[in-house]
Amino acid sequence: MDISKIMKISAAGMKVQTARMSVVAENLANADTVPEKPGETPYRRKVVTFRNALDRATGTDRVQVGKVTTDKTAFGRRYDPGHPGADKDGFVATPNVKGVIEMMDLRSAQRSYEANLNVIQTSRSMMQNMLEMIR
């Protein structure tokens, strides 16, 4: 396989992992966002899905961001009768964001990003070595 194709595939992998890290950061930033009025819904966790896309110019498959969807798991509940968003029983709906899961997703995205970066660095090194051999 052509080294430039390998680098393009790895760059696409880095791009989707960057999008994944952005969504995780948004989830973590909104982990404590609760409704201001009874009956409103809190922040709903977002999830990135990936898909393969054929790059016709190179004839290779590349990963792309498919969709950013919302996680349909149930919201949490916290007893806080003095909160303006509390229901008649005194419970406030809390986001379905779990910090531990988000941190695991973030670490997974970081590792994948680093792996793709290593592929690009190795490919660049191989190209330089090849050019030096030709001289």
pLDDT tens digits, one per residue of 30-89: 999 999 998 899 999 999 999 999 888 878 889 999 999 999 999 999 999 999 999 999
For 44, the 3-state DSSP assignment is: coil
The CA distance from 52 to 62, in Å, is: 6
At residue 101, what are phi and psi to the nearest 5 degrees?
-65, -40
Q: What is the pLDDT of residue 1?
A: 61
Chain-centroid distance of CA 11 in Å reads: 15
Q: What is the pLDDT of residue 3?
A: 83
pTM of the model: 0.86
Task: Average the pLDDT over 2-31 and give the result.
Answer: 94
CB 109, CB 17: distance < 8 Å: yes
For 75, the 3-state DSSP assignment is: coil
CB 52, CB 61: distance < 8 Å: yes
Instruction: Read off the tokens for 83.
Output: 């909160």
Half-sphere exposure of 68 (CA within 13 A, CB side): 13
